[in-house]
Structure 1
Amino acid sequence: MKFDGVLFFPVTAYTDAGEVDAQLTAEHIASRLTFSPGAVFAACGTGEFHALSATEVATVVRSAVSAVNKAAPVIAGTGGALGHAIECARGAADAGADALLVLPPYLVGHPIAGTLAYVDAVIAASDLPVIVYHRGSATLTRDAVRRLVDNERVIGLKDGVGDIGLAHEIARIVQNSGRDDLSLFNGLLTAELTQEAYRAIGVPLYSSAAFAMIPQVADAFYQAYVAHDDARCAQLIDEFYTPLVRLRDAVPGYAVSLVKAGVRLGGLPVGPVRAPLVDPTPEHTNELRRILDSGRNLVAA
């Protein structure tokens, strides 16, 4: 499976009663397809996987598959408690997903052998290939990466650790394996800020939460990135992404909450975030509105 374009992590919409709104989720996803995302990662981090039941994950994935209609691969989130991860994997396969993003297991201390056993159990739950998220309680060692690379069902590794030296070693392990079907992703928060460094070490792909709320800016950055237009990338980072990151860092969880607020500011009533996340304050919402307006003006100019 090849990925070409911005990796889109949509939000999950809720009704006024707090239930998953499948129709509005599909509308949100469909509205971004004109910007040609390289893949749609449904019910993952930005989509509040942590707050969804296995049944709700399947509902979100089904909405994404319907909306995308084969225009791009649909990758479904799975993770958490092992039983929950297995249910999510099976539900995603039934819903028509193309692959799984394996998020870290439930927060419990365990050795790397346990992480690999967890990934193996998720792989065994369906016929779908998997992308393994390298972060948190699923931080990988070099030997673990070699083991994963030997498994043809593993088609990607997503780095959320941010250790550029280790990421370089992982990239070299993959390159030396001879596998040209295994993709590497920069999965850090607001990955646009670090992507030029990741590309330099052999990690060409990145996830974009901003794409969910302001796709025209995310696409402008991506087009400048692939064209090696360093001046344009720097301008977008200085005038849009850096102010956004400052606001994101003001409150834990804003990496998701701000994106969902941005979608609402764009006119789609996708509802609030679920606990334990909190929605932005009125003051922060106004600051987000200003940042988004600035981004639109940059693209228009």
Structure 2
Amino acid sequence: MTTERKSPTGILGFPTAPFKENGSIDEKALAENIDFLIKEGLSSIFIACGSGEFHALSKAEYQTMVKTAVSVASGKVPVYTGVGGNIAYAVELVRLSEDLGADGYLILPPYLIEGEQEGLYNYYKTIVKNSNLNAILYNRDNAIVQLETLQRLVEEFPQIVALKDGHGNMELNLEMTQTIGNRLEWLNGMPFAEITMPAYTRIGFHSYSSAMSNYMPHISKLYFDALLEGNEQLVKEIYVDILLPINRIRKARKGYAVSLIKAGMEIQGFSVANTVRPPCVPVEREHYEQLKSIITLALKKYPVECKETSNL
């Protein structure tokens, strides 16, 4: 565990929650997922968050996932957990995360209620003050902090190291990045964040959560490097060949933001069945085959580079 007041940067890893046939967490498959992300160069592991079906986990399952992540990461990259829901449960998960050796946590929206700014301020304050771990706020759905609220929070709590945006209000994002600047790291957390990253990069967001990295991390890296280097032609080709086609499938059904990741992993040979917990639905066969065709094309046009073997 680290107390360094610095958020993870670059491409952020968000593992899934693999389930066995009996419905329990498949710890071996989870460990393989996490190990793969780390070996592929992702900067961090965000465990039991949106991609990890936080909404559908019991406390025991949550604990299993966090333990596995901390063990596999073993200090190589920071581990952040998902916390949220009702305020008492969020505080409980923060304390559990700290006890289990996590480096920080991402605060997911509170359950159902859309609060006033003062209510959101108190929600975050109550959570953050209970731990010395690094905290990341998340603008999404029913929890959108405005500039003044965010300023109050960051002035009071050095634990807050970043804001992740999954809302897409670029006027608000500009107001925040230009006013608060590098006091925080700015993370793009939009669904399929690669799609919007060119717009976010231009206003100070230099990190994003990549669902696609669970099954094609080399494409995520190729795309992000091309974006940062100004290689517009390669960025456009990856959009046309891969990103936009996958995004069309993702938007075909509600919940595909989660289940499409598992489908891609299964296609790529990972021990993750195309199963998700309600209210999400598994990827339908037609869409599964479409994703398979896109992955096949991607691997043919943009093959995985061979790893160095000098240490063998």
> C-alpha separation between the residues in 1 aligned to 2:33 and 2:65?
11
CA RMSD of aligned residues (A): 1.5
Report the residue type matching 1:191 in the other structure.
A
Q: State how far apart, in whole Å, the 2-side matches of 1:133 and 1:109 are.
A: 14
| Equivalent residue for 1:291, pick from 285, 294, 308 | 294
Secondary structure (helix, strand or coil) at the match of 2:80 reads strand
8 Å Cα contact 1:186/1:207 also seen in 2: yes
Q: Partner amino acid for 1:53?
A: S
How far apart are residue 2 of structure 1 and its match? 4.5
Helix, strand or coil at the partner of 1:275: coil
Do the aligned residues in 2 keep the contact of 1:6 with 1:38 (CA within 8 Å)? Answer: yes
Q: How far apart in 2 are the matches of 1:21 and 1:230?
A: 41
- Give the counterpart of 2:13 among 8, 13, 17: 8
- The corresponding residue for 1:87 is 92
Q: Residues 21-44 of structure 1: CA distance to partner in whole angstroms, max 9, x if unpaired? A: 222211111022222111111111
Task: List per-residue Cα deviations over 1:181-222 (Å, max 9, x = no partner).
Answer: x21111101111111111111111111111112212112112
The one-letter amino acid paired with 1:289 is K
Partner of residue 172 from structure 1, selected from 153, 178, 192:
178
State yes or no: 1:28 paired with 2:33.
yes
1:235 maps to amino acid? E
Within a 5 Å distance, the mapping from 1:58-69 to structure 2 comes to 58-69=63-74
Task: Say if 2:169 is the partner of 1:163.
Answer: yes
Contact preservation (8 Å) 2:18, 2:26: yes
The answer to whether the 8 A contact 1:129-1:155 is kept is yes
Q: In the alignment, which residue of structure 1 is the partner of 2:223?
A: 221
2:199 and 2:215 map into 1 onto residues whose CA distance is 24
Taking structure 2 as the reference length, the TM-score comes to 0.91
CA gap 1:235/1:26 in 2 versus in 1, 3 angstroms: same
Q: Secondary structure at the match of 1:72?
A: coil
Report the Cα offset of residue 227 of structure 1: 2.1
The secondary structure found in structure 1 opposite 2:142 is: helix
CA contact (8 A) 1:57 1:91 kept: no
Structure 1: tracts of 5 or more residues without a match: none
Aligned equivalent of 1:73, options 67, 78, 89: 78
Alignment of 1:197-212 (within 5 A): 197-212=199-214
Task: Report if aligned partners of 1:10, 1:47 keep a CA contact under 8 Å in 2.
Answer: yes
Question: What does the per-residue CA deviation read over 1:248-285, in whole Å, with 9 as the maximum and x for residues that have no partner?
Answer: 00001101110011111222222311111000111111
Assess if the C-alpha contact under 8 Å between 1:216 and 1:296 holds in 2: no
Tell me the SS of whatever aligns to 2:162: strand
Q: Which residue of 2 aligns with 1:276?
A: 279
Q: Is the counterpart of residue 153 in structure 1 residue 153 in structure 2?
A: no
Distance 1:169 1:240 in 2: 32
The 3 A distance-change label for structure 1 pair 295 and 158 is same
Measure the CA separation in 1 of the matches of 2:58 and 2:131: 18
Unaligned runs of 5+ in 2: 1-5, 305-312
1:193 and 2:189 are equivalent in the alignment: no
Q: In structure 2, give the amino acid aligned to 1:161.
A: H
Aligned with 1:140: secondary structure? coil
Q: Give secondary structure in 1 for the equivalent of 2:52.
A: coil
Provide the C-alpha distance between the structure 2 equivalents of 1:97 and 1:278, rounded to a whole number of angstroms.
30
Would the aligned equivalents of 1:224 and 1:233 in 2 still touch at CA under 8 Å?
yes
Aligned to 2:136: 131
User: Normalised by the size of structure 1, how large is the TM-score?
Assistant: 0.94
CA distance in 1, matches of 2:77, 2:224: 17
Query: Alignment identity in percent?
Result: 34
Q: State the secondary structure of the residue aligned to 1:31.
A: helix
- Per-residue CA deviations over 1:117-150 (Å, capped at 9, x if unaligned) read 1111211332211000011111111211211221
Matches within 5 A, 1:240-279: 240-271=242-273, 272-279=275-282
String of CA shifts for 1:155-178, please: whole Å, max 9, x gaps. 000011101111111101221xx6
How far is the alpha carbon of 1:3 from its aligned partner?
2.8
Aligned counterparts of 1:209 and 1:23: Cα–Cα separation in 2: 20
Q: Is the 8 A contact 2:83 2:105 kept in 1?
A: yes
Equivalent pairs counted in the alignment come to 297
Amino acid at match of 2:286: E
The one-letter code sitting in structure 1 at the alignment partner of 2:80 is I
Which residue is equivalent to 2:101?
Answer: 96
